[in-house]
Amino acid sequence: EDGYEMWLRYHTVADNNRLKEYRGQIKQLVVEGESPTLAAARQELQSGLSGLLGLTVPVQTGLARQGSVVVGTPASSPLIAGLDLGDALQAVGPEGFIIRHTRINKRDALVIAANTDVGALYGSFHFLRLLQTHTSLKDLAIESAPRVHHRVVNHWDNLNRLVERGYAGLSLWEWGNLPQHKSPRYTDYARINASLGINGTVINNVNADPRILSDQFLEKIAALADIFRPYGIRMYLSINYDSPRAFGDLDTADPLDPRVQAWWKARTEKVYSYIPDFGGYLVKADSEGQPGPQGYGRDHADGANMLADALAPFGGVVFWRAFVYDPAIADRFRGAWDEFLPLDGKFRENVILQVKNGPIDFQPREPFSPLFGALPKTNTMMEFQITQEYFGFDKHLAYQGPLFTESLNTDTFAKGEGSTIGKLLEGKVFEYTRTGMAGVINPGTDRNWTGHPFVQSSWYAFGRLAWDHSLSAEAIAEEWIRMTFNNNPAFIDPVLAIMMQSREAGVNYRSPLGLTHLFAQGHHYGPAPWYEKAERADWTAAYYHRAAKDGIGFDRTASGSNAVAQYPEPLAKLYGNLDTVPEELMLWFHHVSWDHRMQSGRTLWDELVHLYYSGVDQVRHMQKEWDKLEGLIDQTRFEQVKALLVIQERDAVIWRDSCVLYFQTWSGKAIPANYEKPAHSLDHYRSLERTFYVPEPWHPASSSRALK
């Protein structure tokens, strides 16, 4: 066991009663239809069911006996066409599926039916999941359909195969050997995503290399698209806005210049000549040094629409990112809202604005981006981060499910109570014509794809929530544990408890009470709350925490940047008032006296110290709980996680001590006597900033440079 299989692990069902039940009902497999997608379903089911049942489940063409699993669509399968599933199928739409018991020719059968081949594939993966999690098949009646159209993973892979914020080895895409050699990993990658219903992948970094659109690369990308296609996964690319110039064809990239428009039309036609079902472009423009329309005096709508027009004849879309923050503005928090609000209604129908969950940048806890709910006339989708840029890379255990659901379940009040982000993304608050969710994943050449084995769980959670945002983080975690490890309650319960507290632990030892971005500049691994000078103020920690003698926190109320006014009522009032703001978001919106009385009765200073110490305690607890599990799973994964928890505990202490000692220089208050004393001086912790090993040689500030 090395984690390579991820959650697609088909080991024989360990519970004998269940095994008997499954063996009694599943005797053969009938998948009628010849498409590559149905062939993929057939192959997955055959190997999956045979593995789970511990015997060979034969693939048959007819219903010779009791206990068939029948898979297909009314178009592909005469058996399914004969079942009169019309209404049920209509209800699940083009990508959904139904799974139920039926009788065909007087024989019991289980049917997995859909309107399309890919729907049947999704149903097949779901059926396997039921068995993997030991679910009884009695009274099975499932109807399932995805809630958003675009369920997309984003890679931040560079063409030199280094992965920005990726910590699991080199990029999966072997550019030098494509298209001739097609690594078997590409197919497994497609299976992993399709098992969750993910239907799109953007395979390169948003900080895009223009070469991605060259013929040389398109030929390679087409080979990948061919592998992904049967699994229902469309290819998308991140583009560099300056491409017409970078190619040496024009001296401008002005979106209103007809030559630029013609250039993109021609290039886009070229892309479609290689990949006929190409999905579209993802664009990071006028952000962190990336080129964009503003360089030519144009706005984001001009920029996006020009590309949308080039893609429209082929049915392609533009994912236009809202991650913009002009260094000239006084509060980075305000940036995206200020820029995009005036543009609502100006984007083409095939543009979707891709917005990070929070207003800053994937921090351990952020309030929601006020753009959610502010754009009734602009298709808006979510961008979550799965790779742990701000959560301890591939070293810390930090299941992101609770962060995702916290965000999706937040009420924006955009159209009164009940306007949750989940509903908004579905197009049920405003009438968005295109909907979606993107997740930044980090898989690389590491054998287990993600580095830390538990990063897999966040990928899994993202996919499940992209399919259905109403699922709970806890239910998803339990599925994942059962599929990835085993169905033993003695293992499941403690691991579930570890996972469910891991994100909050990460918040506590890094940035509780609404503190944010206390990271060492560049690499974003360890702490540097003391960091106050950079080329941009909004890249320092001091910019965010505003610690001073009189208190700590960023005043975003009317007496400060007034960013809080970007939220609709009642949220603007709720967040804007120190008495009502949820304490976990407090320092996002208020500059608060060290002596402020918290709900616990402690002063703000004491509460801050308390939470930093609880974060470390939580990690120690996680460690203790994990250590008890030896013998319940394979030794390889057990020991890997155990060792990583040692690192996490070490780092949590460094975070806690660095922050507490540094903030103490402002508060002038003591660490209450009942807490263990930091083992070192603040100077010692400051000296660690450049000694962490960080695998990002492209960033001069981030690699380990200290020799002494």
Of 362 and 454, CB closest to ligand BDP: 362
CA dihedral of residues 168, 689, 537, 615 (deg, nearest 10): 70
Q: Are strands 317-321 and 351-356 parallel, antiparallel or unpaired?
A: parallel
Of 127 and 323, CB closest to ligand BDP: 323
Q: Which of 44, 117, 286, 389 binds ligand BDP (CB under 6 A)?
A: 389
Which residues lie closer than 8 Å to 177 by C-beta, 6 or more apart?
183
Of 27 and 321, CB closest to ligand BDP: 321
Name the token pair of 581. Answer: 């703001």
Minimum Å gap between C-beta 424 and ligand BDP is 21
Of 146 and 392, CB closest to ligand BDP: 392
CA-to-CA distance for 203 and 209, rounded, in angstroms? 12
Minimum Å gap between C-beta 603 and ligand BDP is 33
Which single residue is written with the structure tokens 């929601």? 368
Residue closest to 444 by CA, chosen among 693, 158, 236, 177: 158
**Catalytic entry in 32, 389, 555, 607:** 389
Of 381 and 495, CB closest to ligand BDP: 381
Name the token pair of 463. Answer: 């996919």
Which residues lie closer than 8 Å to 26 by C-beta, 6 or more apart?
49, 53, 57, 67, 69, 110
CA-to-CA distance for 462 and 467, rounded, in angstroms? 9
Minimum Å gap between C-beta 440 and ligand BDP is 7
Minimum Å gap between C-beta 20 and ligand BDP is 50
DSSP conformation letters of 540-576: SSHHHH--BTTBBS---STTTT-GGGGSPTTHHHHHH
CA-to-CA distance for 374 and 341, rounded, in angstroms? 7
Binding mask 295-324 for ligand BDP (x = CB under 6 A): ----------------------------x-
- Residue 399, classified by CB atoms within 10 Å of its CB into exposed (0-12), middle (13-18) or buried (19+), is buried
Annotation marks residue 5 as catalytic: no
By CB under 6 A, residue 164 contacts ligand BDP: yes
By CB under 6 A, residue 525 contacts ligand BDP: no
Q: Which of 149, 165, 220, 229 binds ligand BDP (CB under 6 A)?
A: 165
Check if the beta carbon of residue 230 is closer than 8 Å to that of residue 189.
no
CA-to-CA distance for 503 and 372, rounded, in angstroms? 23
Residue closest to 449 by CA, chosen among 172, 706, 231: 172
By CB under 6 A, residue 361 contacts ligand BDP: yes
By CB under 6 A, residue 696 contacts ligand BDP: no
**Catalytic entry in 288, 550, 595, 639:** 288
Q: Which of 43, 47, 183, 207 binds ligand BDP (CB under 6 A)?
A: 207
By CB under 6 A, residue 332 contacts ligand BDP: no
Of 46 and 207, CB closest to ligand BDP: 207
Q: Count residues near ligand BDP (CB under 6 A).
A: 9
Minimum Å gap between C-beta 404 and ligand BDP is 16
Cis peptide before 179 (omega within 30 of 0): yes
CA-to-CA distance for 677 and 655, rounded, in angstroms? 14
Of 222 and 438, CB closest to ligand BDP: 438
If phi > 0 it is left, if psi is from -120 to 50 it is alpha, else beta; for residue 106 that is left
99-129: b or e for each residue (b if 16 or more CB lie within 10 Å)?
bbebebeeebbbbbbbbbbbbbbbbbbbbbb
Neighbours of 706 (CB within 10 A): 10
Q: Which of 206, 455, 572, 608 binds ligand BDP (CB under 6 A)?
A: 206
CA-to-CA dists, residue 304 to 282, 322, 351, 393, angstroms: 10, 11, 7, 33
By CB under 6 A, residue 102 contacts ligand BDP: no
Residue closest to 469 by CA, chosen among 99, 194, 127, 145: 145
By CB under 6 A, residue 284 contacts ligand BDP: yes
By CB under 6 A, residue 242 contacts ligand BDP: no
Q: Are strands 97-104 and 107-113 parallel, antiparallel or unpaired?
A: antiparallel
By CB under 6 A, residue 362 contacts ligand BDP: yes
CA-to-CA dists, residue 352 to 300, 348, 534, 538, angstroms: 12, 9, 33, 27
Residue closest to 157 by CA, chosen among 211, 223, 76: 211
**Catalytic entry in 95, 361, 651, 657:** 361
Minimum Å gap between C-beta 329 and ligand BDP is 17
Minimum Å gap between C-beta 287 and ligand BDP is 6
CA-to-CA distance for 360 and 231, rounded, in angstroms? 34
Check if the beta carbon of residue 171 is closer than 8 Å to that of residue 163.
yes
Annotation marks residue 361 as catalytic: yes
Neighbours of 213 (CB within 10 A): 23
Name the token pair of 285. Answer: 């423009």
Of 284 and 469, CB closest to ligand BDP: 284
Of 286 and 479, CB closest to ligand BDP: 286
452-482: b or e for each residue (b if 16 or more CB lie within 10 Å)?
bbbbbbbbbbbbbbbbbbebebbebbbbbbb
Of 97 and 391, CB closest to ligand BDP: 391
Minimum Å gap between C-beta 516 and ligand BDP is 13
Minimum Å gap between C-beta 618 and ligand BDP is 25
Of 95 and 164, CB closest to ligand BDP: 164
Minimum Å gap between C-beta 326 and ligand BDP is 15
Residues 621-650 that bind ligand BDP (CB under 6 A): none
Of 209 and 389, CB closest to ligand BDP: 389
Minimum Å gap between C-beta 158 and ligand BDP is 11
Q: Which single residue brings its beta carbon nearest to ligand BDP?
A: 361
Minimum Å gap between C-beta 525 and ligand BDP is 12
Binding site for ligand BDP (CB under 6 A): 164-165, 206-207, 284, 323, 361-362, 389
Q: Which residues are catalytic?
A: 288, 361, 389
